[in-house]
A and B are shown apart, each in its own frame.
Chain A
Amino acid sequence: MSTATINSELDGGPLATGISHLVTADRVDVSHGVILYIEGVTVSFDGFRALNDLSLAIDAGELRCVIGPNGAGKTTMMDVITGKTRPDAGTVFLGQTVDLTKLPEYEIARLGVGRKFQKPSVFENLSVYENLELAIKGPKGVWDTLFHRRDSMQEDRIDEMLKQIHLKERLRDQAGLLSHGQKQWLEIGMLLMQEPQVLLLDEPAAGMSDEETERTAELFLSLEGKHSLIVVEHDMAFVAALARKVTVLHEGSVLVEGSMATVQNDERVIEVYLGR
């Protein structure tokens, strides 16, 4: 219920179009080198603390892996960042100025926070091309799409993306007909069309073949620097392949942070994963 109330206060009204009057994507201030600050975030569901005073900072252009046992709060963390869940306490700042906990999902997406779900989530009845077209960055209000005309610049961008995600041959096919791995790639492609500053990737390698997993790791490493990525994974091999800073979550807060080697040898981490 609180979600709805917050939404209505910040909305421009039912037919508000285009970009928010509050904040625009250009105004994300990363002057301190940090793109995302999560500070003291607590979320409880019926007394269970999914996130417990969680604090985390992601640098601009960083690729960060987040791991943790089931119920550590990884998905809840993503829900809070993307506006799906409102925290009971704490703030999530994009850059220095924008508090994401006060914005509805679509505003957060327009500001440049893209999210990939655990289960591949594409528009099954639309073609691969149309999936990418809908994701492309630009005005997304009712009137904008009602009077939208396709232009060649957009077509070129979609074409490029089709090559990058290896779906050029399937552009006319319904997205529902793609294989599991291809859907994952299409979803990643849709995220990239949004030109996001921060990419949240929930188990992006789930259900992929070894070769696909390898290619996915390569793709993410190539995005590093241009975007900030937060990868939540169970697959340790995949995390090792990325070989970047790792954050271990446990019971809703950060347990350890460091390189893969540090984390793997940390006694608390071993204890949490293996049990006493």
Chain B
Amino acid sequence: MAVLSAIPGLYQRRGWFGVAGFAAVVLLVIPFLRLVVPPASMLHVSDYYVLLIGKIMCYAMVALALDLVWGYAGILSLGHGLFFALGGYSMGMYLMREIGNEGQYRSFLPDFMVFLDWKEFPWYWAGSEYFVLALLKILLVPGLLAFVFGWFAFRSRIKGVYFSIITQALTFAFMLLFFRNDTGFGGNNGFTDFKRILGFSLAHPATRMSVFMITGLLLILTLLLCRYIVTSKFGRVLAAIRDAESRTMFSGYNTRDYKLFVWTLSAVICAIAGALYVLQVGIINPSEMSPANSIEIAIWVAVGGRGSLVGALVGAGIVNGAKSYFTVAWPDLWLYCLGALFVLVTLFLPQGVMGWRRSGSR
């Protein structure tokens, strides 16, 4: 109850208007323009934009998750793409089962298993046909991995750039593992050609819009959860750990528990985003675990302004909006633009776009 009573205080009036405005756009305006307004109309929103915005909302969740650990607790992860991908794979396993025997080979097994000449599902695919279990797996698998990894890393007091490098190595190791066909997750092709979720066709506009709206809703809930955390005393302890960890310890806080909690929570948020992403994009493969992907997440947060939740959202929006434009207009130039953006932000906007706005309004 104490938590519920704290909710109105999370934002001032203007902040709540922003949240309500965003909710209205993704939960009412876009669904209306997509499903009700006829395609011939100027105002009709095409599937392309629904998918693009849906994807960016997933990325925004990931940016929030990274900002929580990096911006507030000072833990830079360069492996958050791993948790995103594992959430995606957990959802993907269920979606593969939903294909049933409508695959290329008309087998009850996914095509890639038929191709490998497997006769039955490996043990770790057990129960993957149940949606509820898939949901649990989305939360538990990445959560547990993050917990165990964090347990050892924080216990050994690994910090700063060493921690970042190990997270990078972790996601790389998993990428190599998932590239192998024998691992049983489709090798370098991953999972794709999904047909249904809970019996509803994934190609149907209503299904797609439902997924889109659920993504919007979960993004808002994630924002409010993160806001609650960073404005609580817990959030101030995180800032204390970031600024002076030994002072925090000598003040009686077990900093390892704090880091482990926020680290695991962050991984779980990433995993949820990954599952929603797979539902919309319709493919998951090991390239999501590539080190470059995880570094890109850090760039979103740096551009928006770490230590600001809205900044994380803005950063994910700006970079991915630019990416979708540039990869169509000048595909070869995109990586240069991304690199230049990162350099410019680091040099001229160390606090990101939000920091620039703040200093401008003073």
Q: Is the CB of B251 within 8 A of A135?
A: yes
Within A93-119, which residues are at the interface with B (CB < 8 Å)? Answer: 104-106, 109-110, 114-115, 117
Q: Is the CB of B156 within 8 A of A106?
A: no
A148 within 8 A of B: yes
Within A119-161, which residues are at the interface with B (CB < 8 Å)? Answer: 121-126, 130, 133-135, 137, 140-142, 145-149
- With a 10 A CB-CB cut-off, give which of A1, A117, A123, A137 has the most chain B CB atoms: A123
Q: Which of A1, A8, A14, A142 contacts B234 (CB 8 A)?
A: A142
A7 within 8 A of B: yes
Number of interface residues of B (CB under 8 A): 34
B247 within 8 A of A: yes
Residues on B with C-beta less than 8 A from A109 are 249-252
Within A7-25, which residues are at the interface with B (CB < 8 Å)? Answer: 7-8, 11, 14-17
A247 within 8 A of B: no
Q: Is the CB of B251 within 8 A of A148?
A: no
Within B229-277, which residues are at the interface with A (CB < 8 Å)? Answer: 229, 232-234, 236-237, 239-240, 242-244, 246-258, 260-261
A82 within 8 A of B: yes
B358 within 8 A of A: no
Residues on B with C-beta less than 8 A from A146 are 229, 232-234
- Whole-angstrom distance between the alpha carbons of A137 and B251 in the complex? 9
Q: Which of B6, B249, B261 contacts A105 (CB 8 A)?
A: B249
Q: Is the CB of A148 within 8 A of B257?
A: no
Q: Which of B236, B242, B254 contacts A106 (CB 8 A)?
A: B254
Residues on A with C-beta less than 8 A from B251 are 109, 134-135, 140, 190, 194
- Whole-angstrom distance between the alpha carbons of A145 and B255 in the complex? 12
B106 within 8 A of A: no
Q: Is the CB of A16 within 8 A of B236?
A: no
Residues on A with C-beta less than 8 A from B147 are 14
- Whole-angstrom distance between the alpha carbons of A133 and B239 in the complex? 13
- Whole-angstrom distance between the alpha carbons of A187 and B246 in the complex? 13
- Whole-angstrom distance between the alpha carbons of A249 and B247 in the complex? 26
Q: A3: shortest Cβ distance to chain B, in Å?
A: 8
Number of interface residues of A (CB under 8 A): 41
Residues on B with C-beta less than 8 A from A168 are none
Q: Which of A14, A82, A190 contacts B151 (CB 8 A)?
A: A14
Residues on B with C-beta less than 8 A from A149 are 2, 6
- Whole-angstrom distance between the alpha carbons of A115 and B249 in the complex? 10
Q: Which residue of A lies closest to B229 (CB)?
A: A146
Q: A133: shortest Cβ distance to chain B, in Å?
A: 7
- Whole-angstrom distance between the alpha carbons of A146 and B228 in the complex? 9
A274 within 8 A of B: no
- Whole-angstrom distance between the alpha carbons of A27 and B179 in the complex? 57
- Whole-angstrom distance between the alpha carbons of A16 and B249 in the complex? 15
Q: Which residue of A lies closest to B240 (CB)?
A: A123
Q: Is the CB of A114 within 8 A of B250?
A: yes
- Whole-angstrom distance between the alpha carbons of A268 and B249 in the complex? 38
Q: Which of B234, B243, B252, B261 contacts A123 (CB 8 A)?
A: B243
A84 within 8 A of B: yes
Q: Is the CB of A106 within 8 A of B255?
A: yes
Q: A195: shortest Cβ distance to chain B, in Å?
A: 11
Q: Is the CB of B243 within 8 A of A133?
A: no
Given known contacts A14-B147, A84-B246, A109-B250, is B155 in contact with A145 (CB within 8 Å)? no
Q: B196: shortest Cβ distance to chain A, in Å?
A: 39
- Whole-angstrom distance between the alpha carbons of A115 and B250 in the complex? 7
Q: Which of B151, B229, B236, B249 contacts A126 (CB 8 A)?
A: B236
Q: Is the CB of A117 within 8 A of B237?
A: no
Q: Is the CB of A123 within 8 A of B253?
A: no
B362 within 8 A of A: no
- With a 10 A CB-CB cut-off, give which of A4, A7, A134 has the most chain B CB atoms: A134
Q: Is the CB of A15 within 8 A of B257?
A: yes
Within A172-196, which residues are at the interface with B (CB < 8 Å)? Answer: 187, 190, 194
Q: B189: shortest Cβ distance to chain A, in Å?
A: 37
- Whole-angstrom distance between the alpha carbons of A122 and B251 in the complex? 11
Given known contacts A123-B239, A194-B251, is B246 in contact with A147 (CB within 8 Å)? no
Given known contacts A14-B147, A14-B151, A148-B233, is B256 in contact with A121 (CB within 8 Å)? no
B119 within 8 A of A: no
Q: Is the CB of A121 within 8 A of B246?
A: yes
Q: Which residue of A lies closest to B258 (CB)?
A: A142
Given known contacts A4-B157, A146-B229, is B260 in contact with A14 (CB within 8 Å)? yes
- With a 10 A CB-CB cut-off, give which of A7, A11, A106 has the most chain B CB atoms: A106
Q: Is the CB of B236 within 8 A of A133?
A: yes
Closest A-B pairs by Cβ, 10 of them: A148-B233, A109-B252, A145-B233, A145-B234, A105-B249, A146-B234, A110-B252, A121-B247, A123-B240, A106-B254
Interface CB pairs A-B, < 8 A, 6:
A4-B155, A14-B147, A16-B257, A134-B251, A135-B251, A146-B233
Known: A109-B250, A121-B244. 18 other contacts (CB 8 A): A4-B156, A14-B260, A105-B246, A106-B253, A106-B255, A109-B249, A109-B252, A110-B252, A123-B240, A123-B247, A124-B244, A134-B240, A134-B251, A140-B251, A142-B261, A145-B234, A146-B229, A149-B6
Interfacial residues, chain A to chain B (CB-CB below 8 A): 1, 4, 7-8, 11, 14-17, 82, 84, 104-106, 109-110, 114-115, 117, 121-126, 130, 133-135, 137, 140-142, 145-149, 187, 190, 194
